[in-house]
Amino acid sequence: FVLLEGFPLTANGKIDRRALPRPQIQSGSDEPDYVPPRNELDRKLVEIWKSLLNLQSVSIEANYFDLGGNSLMATRLIAQIEMATGRQLALAALFRSPSIRQLSDIIASRPNTIAPEQPRTERLAIDESPIPRLDRSLPLPLSMRRVFV
Q: Are 50 and 18 in contact (CB under 8 A)?
A: no
Percent of the chain predicted with pLDDT > 90: 36
Rounded to the nearest 5°, which phi and psi values hold at 65? Answer: -75, -30
Share of the chain above pLDDT 70, in %: 73
3-state secondary structure (DSSP) of residue 85? helix
pLDDT digits (tens, 9 = 90+) for 92-147: 999 999 999 999 998 888 776 555 455 555 544 555 566 666 666 667 777 777 77
Nearest to 87 by CA among 130, 60, 49, 118: 118
* CB contact at 8 A, 60 and 101: yes
CB 59 within 8 A of CB 98: no
